[in-house]
Chain A
Amino acid sequence: MSWGVVAVALLTSLSTAASLFMVAAGLTLIFGAMRVINLAHGSLYMYGAFIAATIVGSATGDTFWYALALAPLAVVVLGTLLEVGLMRRVYRADHLVQLLATYGVLLILGDLALQFWGASPLSVSSPRVLSGSLAFQHFTFPAYELFLTGTGVLVGLALWFLLARTSLGWKVRASVEDAELLAVRGTNVKLLYTVVFAIGAFLAGLGGALITPLQGVDTGLGSSIIVAAFVVAVIGGLGSIAGAALGAGIIAVFQMAGALWLPAWEPTSLYVAMIVVLAIKPWGLLGVRDR
């Protein structure tokens, strides 16, 4: 195998990882603060993709950038409604109730998407500046995928800054430790949770909008991404943003290696990676034991 193939494989893995990371980071952020696994997170990603595809398709010209700016915001609105209408009622409930409730939302949002957008996939072409490939010494690589990787890195840095350097981040970390104490010290924890959920929804919507030039947009998008994002978050350690980045990298490389050497096993590689990690570190690579 030539160096060119390996380089392309690695770069492709990185762009897959970037996309997985954005979705998994939102899932893990929401779990970290509110202790809820939001299965409907996949639907938010799917709506990000559908809304972006609709905006791109609604006009001629280079509309992708508008779609990229607007779709995540639309998903934030959807996510906020979901949080206020449903999620805050189930934070204190049993995990089973939470799973049923969010799974119900996943189904409802899936059917609504089918109503609005139909069953045939929508396609979106890359924005003009990123439509070509970059030529390196031994290989060429699509510019858009490099852009996706870069965006993933920026999102990771922004999240780190948010949690480590802003008072909002300190409050999120404090709420993970003791939400009741935070409340009696004057913080409106309900509002804080809504904001955290909205940030998670933004990440899902952004991930969805960004994937559109690489993948047909259909109603299966939500359930396929939620499984992958969940595996990534669990491998990294639920609640850990850095863990989500690490998990996304591992899963992407595993999938790529599977596709190259054992194509028949590619779909399974995801779970093999999860089982191996959990056998060694039951709380995930960077996870901490639950309270």
Chain B
Amino acid sequence: MVTVALETESLTKRFGAFTAVDEVYLQVDEGAIHAIIGPNGAGKSTLFKLLTGVHVPTSGLVKLRGRDLTGLPPHAVARAGIVQVFQTTSIFTRLSVEESLATAVLAAAGHSASMSARRRRRAQPQVDELLEAVGLTAARAAISGTLSHGDQRALEIAVALGATPSVLLLDEPTAGMSPFETERMTELVRRLRHERSLTVVLSEHDMDVIFGLSDRVTVLHRGKVLAEGSPAEVAADDEVVSVYLGGEQI
């Protein structure tokens, strides 16, 4: 039997009179790549912020392998294993590559304000391994802000992995990428899922990426779940085609 990694129950977020996320039930299977799609303003970003603890839900629950994470602060959610990679490259531009990674690795181990050199040395093997995994070993001492765009993206993923996630949230991972870069990113996501036994939740606009990568698709529309199923099932859903795909041929 497949176990559920990430689950939400009747998850709702209101901002004043506006309901951004409306009674969303989501089940993400262990080890799956699960896409969340929907037009702009469908509530994808808010949903991600609810999953990472940045927003506190108005009502409803977020559970990770049965453990209720609702209302935990962001750092506690990250340590529990839910880590997000953002749409716009989010790194600490003034820290070196190695400093950025060590910061995440130490934080995952529960050291928020430690200056112990011993702890830092103990984190070193993991830092080295991550540098190797994303191909940044040679750039370890470089200031992050001076890296090329592709390397910054790689660093961001390495930093996210440094937080030792079990569920990785990817917010439009291929936005603004060339077809070649998109192919590379798709490959990386596939590889990471297998090598690190990750569960991946991604929001995406690129239909080729969604169909090529994901096992399941949830369609959001105006904060509600419009449809859920395999990519083929969702693509065949008349309602989805009319509101979201706008009659676009797939």
Interface residues of B in 4-35 (CB under 8 A from A): none
Chain B residue nearest to A288 (CB atoms) is B94
A-side contacts of B140, CB under 8 Å:
none
Q: Given the known A-B contacts A185-B78, A185-B163, A186-B75, are A174 and B95 also in contact in the complex, defined by CB atoms under 8 Å?
A: yes
Say whether B73 faces chain A, with CB atoms less than 8 Å apart. Answer: yes
Which 3 A-B residue pairs are closest in the complex by CB-CB distance? A186-B107, A188-B112, A186-B78
Interface residues of B in 102-125 (CB under 8 A from A): 102-104, 106-108, 111-115, 117, 119-120
A-side contacts of B117, CB under 8 Å:
166
Say whether B225 faces chain A, with CB atoms less than 8 Å apart. Answer: no
Chain A residue nearest to B96 (CB atoms) is A170
Chain A residue nearest to B76 (CB atoms) is A188
Q: Are A167's CB and B75's CB within 8 A? A: no
- Of A183, A184, A187, the most chain B CB neighbours within 10 A belong to A184
Q: How far is the CA of A184 from the CA of B77 in the complex (A)?
A: 8
Main secondary structure of the interface of A (DSSP, over half): helix
Say whether A173 faces chain B, with CB atoms less than 8 Å apart. Answer: yes
Which bucket holds chain B's interface residue count? 35 or more
Q: How far is the CB of B113 from chain A (nearest CB, A)?
A: 4
Q: Are B102's CB and A167's CB within 8 A? A: yes
Q: Are A189's CB and B75's CB within 8 A? A: yes
Q: How far is the CA of A126 from the CA of B108 in the complex (A)?
A: 48
Chain A residue nearest to B111 (CB atoms) is A167
Q: Are A187's CB and B75's CB within 8 A? A: yes
Q: Are A188's CB and B75's CB within 8 A? A: yes
Q: How far is the CA of A291 from the CA of B115 in the complex (A)?
A: 27
Q: How far is the CA of A210 from the CA of B93 in the complex (A)?
A: 38
Say whether B84 faces chain A, with CB atoms less than 8 Å apart. Answer: yes
Q: How far is the CA of A167 from the CA of B103 in the complex (A)?
A: 6
Q: Are A185's CB and B107's CB within 8 A? A: yes
Say whether A108 faces chain B, with CB atoms less than 8 Å apart. Answer: no
Q: Are B92's CB and A178's CB within 8 A? A: yes
Q: Are B92's CB and A177's CB within 8 A? A: yes
Q: How far is the CA of A183 from the CA of B111 in the complex (A)?
A: 12
Q: Are B74's CB and A183's CB within 8 A? A: yes
Q: How far is the CB of B66 from chain A (nearest CB, A)?
A: 21
Q: How far is the CA of A163 from the CA of B90 in the complex (A)?
A: 21
Q: How far is the CB of B112 from chain A (nearest CB, A)?
A: 4
Q: How far is the CA of A212 from the CA of B203 in the complex (A)?
A: 62
Chain B residue nearest to A172 (CB atoms) is B113
Q: Given the known A-B contacts A185-B159, A186-B163, are A168 and B114 also in contact in the complex, defined by CB atoms under 8 Å?
A: yes
Q: How far is the CB of B85 from chain A (nearest CB, A)?
A: 10
Interface residues of A in 152-188 (CB under 8 A from B): 162, 166-171, 173-174, 177-178, 180-188
A-side contacts of B108, CB under 8 Å:
186
Say whether A1 faces chain B, with CB atoms less than 8 Å apart. Answer: no
Q: Are A184's CB and B112's CB within 8 A? A: no
B-side contacts of A195, CB under 8 Å:
113
B-side contacts of A166, CB under 8 Å:
115, 117, 120
Say whether B201 faces chain A, with CB atoms less than 8 Å apart. Answer: no
Say whether B155 faces chain A, with CB atoms less than 8 Å apart. Answer: no
Say whether A191 faces chain B, with CB atoms less than 8 Å apart. Answer: yes
Choice from B53, B111, B120, B160 contacting A185 with Cβ under 8 Å: B160
Q: Are B112's CB and A177's CB within 8 A? A: no
Q: List 28 A-B contacts (CB under 8 A).
A: A162-B115, A167-B115, A168-B115, A170-B99, A170-B103, A174-B95, A174-B100, A180-B54, A180-B74, A181-B90, A181-B92, A182-B92, A182-B107, A183-B73, A183-B75, A183-B78, A185-B83, A185-B103, A185-B107, A186-B78, A187-B103, A188-B73, A188-B75, A188-B107, A190-B73, A191-B112, A192-B112, A194-B113
